[in-house]
Chains A and B, each alone.
Chain A
């Protein structure tokens, strides 16, 4: 409460009750300095326990004496800010300025240290969860002993400042825990243990703060003229005087907390360092594990995908997945006899109709379902190519999310599902070689229409864009009569994509060769201009999946490439459809296949084989092999699988996850340093051990410019926001008072503004202060005498005369009477305030 307001309250109480309780004093003494020192110790223990605990848990090197001394010094320093009011505000500002300037000067070291800590954490987490990708951030200096020490100093300072607020300022246990324990949780979660003494120190702080907070009497206010020993505030008819902290009490509570923590720590030791027994995690932990894995791999945005696509693809649902996150758990187990070096595809879902970022297994045009998925499948099975190669394959459902059959090319099954834990054995007739002989002359009308109409369907919303895209990409197949003029030298498609009529006399072989050539062109285009990634980001809500991928995103995983290839090919008149399933590349067979003893190859495969040696193998296929590809219809032959996804060139490591990247970006901008540091943009230099940690204080203006701009920009924004919010709050408060009819508070406010104005004017004219907190009658006398002086009176004659008696009476009524004033009286008072303020402003 500001001093002037306290005086006003005092005068008010004396006027109302005749008595006023002054500043209460503890005869035993306040010992404020001692209390500050004790709190500094609490801050030090909390800071040290947290930061050192985490660093030790992750086995990072650092200089312990330097860190200990620095933490102690900074903790005591920030705690002592609460000793006196004149230390508090300037002290904080000074510390922040020094902190920022040193951070700017040593930001490369600090950044390196910070990145080292993050990298180590990522490394440990990846090892713990057996994740394949490890995100590495750049460390400018490789000497972690130095960089981690420096980073700890900066982190410790920041933490000490926060802890000072929660301990010295508010004595709040929850806040203290929230800014310390989560750091240790990072270690505990993956069974890494900070040293026991760190836990003991933290526990002692928690107990001490918790007990003091429960008592509610250990705050230390810095505001007010003399930082009184007792805080006074009024609750209804009761005035409370609450003492601010007792030195002996603080000491006793702290010693008690330390004793309890030590005892607990001693009890911890046997269980603390014991190895955790291997057991299935509880449901809560399992869920937490999943979330943490997502976070480690993909950052925060990974937690906000619209649907989960772990464990394979999702039946044609596209768009909502920003990252594909395989859990690398075995989904299926396949037993067969390999016959080729090509990838073996196991088909599950066929997408025929594309609409609103989803593939459907049926065809659906103008609200009339043409063919259901089963009907199409029946046709597919009837009009499937066969060959002399015959094979047998067993697919066991180990952990599939959905249980559709997975069928190798070309096979048939009556079974609609493979339930979990069960297997399906099918006979298949694979295509071997590059020839596609004619299998059928004619097709049933429905199937024919399905192939030559429905499999050419492109949604109207993207039709034009896709056609334009094909023209821009200069695909040779763009010359279709319906969409655009044929380019010269191009081969026109045989079938009109709209009517399905044969418009040329090209042979099936020519048509099929043409279609395969187009598909290869699309594939080549993808290789050239697109990149593969499992984390492309999700499609915006108002965009089409395929269009967005082709025109803007330019990066994605198999579903992107497959969907886009189908749409492009259909645009160019090639019947194509989207397929999901699993793929078994030759590398997987080579790395993970286990030979099945006692099985004869002849029972599992007969026919041409590209392999020199054959055997029956069993293979575990995990969800990272879930895949999407396309099928192209070859006239007279049938649908053949075609791979359109470029190979992953291992460019997954695109930097840190979102949050870490943000911080990394803040400190990783390049500019030329004109300091003692070497040019770090060329090569990360190795810091020799004997180099002093703190070079001489020479700062380059160029080096400081950007960080200073950022700092002041942020500061200015914060100040601006603060003023805006303050204005909003004041305005809200005033409106509330007005609505409630609480004119007293409104009048108090205006009264004080007027008082300040007149005091300022009088002080400037008379060079000495008057009664700083006059009562209404005194204020009116002051105003009338000040404004009636000749020179001033001449200036203000144009203003309406204020009736000072009436003004004083209204003020007294508003401020002191129990009934208050009416709205009309308030308006009258407002006008008087306005007039007086105007007159005073005029006379300044």
Chain B
């Protein structure tokens, strides 16, 4: 419990000043002021200590998401189950866009009603799309005379994604690639296992059912697919860069593109590259909700500057796709891969 010595000393000084006045004026009734002045700090401290046990704070977002340009509105709600109100409560919180971390701390001073809830709305504006994260870190409660302060650590987090405003997408063909061959060319004799199995890997969403290695999957109790030497991966992958300086344009284009693909009923995967863990995550998007969810997942990726890390990592790894649509800011590039294995 923190003590505010200056206020305590000032209060004691005030009491002595009253004594001085009593001595000069020689009015006995003024002496009756002394007992309350001595009792009040004790009383307020006791009430404060009692009330502080019953006060809690919650945070919530007022909307599931917002469009860029509109503020994300959060709600901080304090609840007091005791019948003692407190008027000097401070909530420390931290608000940031996950793409743009900052160390700015905010302290919100609020009153707490007795036997009830107090709610405070505050809007958070952001210049770029991303995940607006609000984290409550500390709750400080002070008594009525501000002599003592109790601090409770908090760990409450709320997030509201900020989606970009609709923007035009650069013209790019999203038709699946045909290289003069049938889409599916493989040895699909029933029961036959191709001798050209290149590798067996875990099932990824979008893989064909026919490629599932049922035997192994049953044994391992997980889905595995055969990667044959002549299997062609005929899927479209969208690969966005998480470059900080272009993030606004990247997200706008990404959203626009994915919405267009959904509208055209094209199958595609969204490949999210986490440069910190060097991992790829594939998301299948079939409708608007999945699209927004995928974009939200995109917001959790750590950003970087400069190079096209996702592209480089994709092509230097064993990732395969027939078509990769690479997004870096407003630049959209379609890469059709000649990696069909015969």
Please report A residues at the B interface, Cβ cutoff 8 Å: 13-28, 185, 188-189, 191, 203, 211, 214-217, 230, 237-243, 246, 248-249, 252-253, 260, 264, 267-268, 271-272, 274, 276, 281-282, 284-285, 288
Q: Which residue of B33, B105, B119, B125 contacts A19 across the interface (Cβ within 8 Å)?
A: B125
B64 within 8 Å of A (CB atoms):
no
Please report B residues at the A interface, Cβ cutoff 8 Å: 7, 20-21, 23-29, 32-33, 36, 71, 75, 85, 87-88, 92, 95-97, 99-100, 102-111, 113, 118-128, 130, 132, 142, 144-146
Of listed A21, A238, A240, residue having the most chain B CB within 10 A:
A21
Contact between B106 and A28, CB atoms less than 8 A apart: no
On whether A285 and B29 interact (CB within 8 A), knowing A24-B121, A238-B105, A239-B106, the answer reads: no
Contact between A19 and B102, CB atoms less than 8 A apart: yes
Contact between A27 and B121, CB atoms less than 8 A apart: yes
Contact between A215 and B125, CB atoms less than 8 A apart: no
Contact between A246 and B120, CB atoms less than 8 A apart: no
Contact between B24 and A285, CB atoms less than 8 A apart: yes
Q: Which residue of B75, B109, B123, B145 contacts A217 across the interface (Cβ within 8 Å)?
A: B109
Q: Which residue of A215, A276, A285 contacts B23 across the interface (Cβ within 8 Å)?
A: A285
On whether A264 and B123 interact (CB within 8 A), knowing A217-B87, A276-B26, the answer reads: no
Q: Which residue of B21, B25, B32, B105 contacts A268 across the interface (Cβ within 8 Å)?
A: B32
Q: Which residue of A268, A274, A284 contacts B20 across the interface (Cβ within 8 Å)?
A: A284
Contact between A284 and B145, CB atoms less than 8 A apart: no
Q: Specify which chain B residues have a CB less than 8 angstroms from the CB of A25 in the assembled complex.
A: 120-122
How many contacts between A and B, using CB within 8 angstroms? Answer: 146
Contact between B145 and A19, CB atoms less than 8 A apart: no
Contact between A246 and B111, CB atoms less than 8 A apart: yes
19 additional contacts, CB 8 Å, given A27-B118, A241-B109, A282-B26? Answer: A14-B125, A17-B102, A18-B96, A18-B97, A19-B100, A19-B132, A20-B124, A21-B122, A21-B123, A23-B123, A24-B122, A185-B25, A214-B146, A243-B111, A246-B111, A249-B85, A252-B85, A260-B36, A282-B23
Q: Which residue of A17, A271, A272, A284 contacts B24 across the interface (Cβ within 8 Å)?
A: A284
Inter-chain CA distance A217–B317, complex, in Å, is 59
Can you sample 20 A-B contacts with CB below 8 Å? A14-B126, A18-B102, A19-B97, A19-B124, A22-B124, A23-B123, A26-B119, A185-B25, A211-B144, A214-B145, A216-B88, A230-B108, A230-B109, A238-B92, A238-B106, A240-B106, A241-B106, A260-B36, A271-B28, A281-B26
Contact between B128 and A18, CB atoms less than 8 A apart: yes
CB distance from A371 to the nearest CB of B (A): 50
Instruction: Give B105's nearest chain A residue, CB to CB.
Output: A238
Q: Specify which chain A residues have a CB less than 8 angstroms from the CB of B120 in the assembled complex.
A: 24-27
Inter-chain CA distance A239–B109, complex, in Å, is 11
Of listed B36, B87, B121, B130, residue having the most chain A CB within 10 A:
B87
Inter-chain CA distance A406–B101, complex, in Å, is 93
Contact between A284 and B23, CB atoms less than 8 A apart: yes
Contact between A19 and B95, CB atoms less than 8 A apart: yes
Q: Specify which chain A residues have a CB less than 8 angstroms from the CB of B145 in the assembled complex.
A: 211, 214
On whether A19 and B96 interact (CB within 8 A), knowing A241-B106, A241-B108, A249-B85, the answer reads: yes
Q: Specify which chain A residues have a CB less than 8 angstroms from the CB of B126 in the assembled complex.
A: 14, 18-20
CB distance from B9 to the nearest CB of A (A): 14
Nearest 10 pairs between A and B by C-beta? A18-B100, A22-B123, A17-B102, A27-B119, A24-B122, A242-B109, A246-B111, A188-B25, A214-B145, A271-B29
On whether A267 and B99 interact (CB within 8 A), knowing A25-B122, A238-B106, A276-B26, the answer reads: no
Instruction: Give A237's nearest chain B residue, CB to CB.
Output: B105
Q: Which residue of B20, B27, B108, B127 contacts A18 across the interface (Cβ within 8 Å)?
A: B127
Q: Specify which chain B residues have a CB less than 8 angstroms from the CB of A240 in the assembled complex.
A: 106-107, 109
Contact between A28 and B107, CB atoms less than 8 A apart: no
Q: Specify which chain A residues have a CB less than 8 angstroms from the CB of B118 in the assembled complex.
A: 26-28
Contact between B128 and A239, CB atoms less than 8 A apart: no
CB distance from A205 to the nearest CB of B (A): 14
Q: Specify which chain B residues have a CB less than 8 angstroms from the CB of A288 in the assembled complex.
A: 24
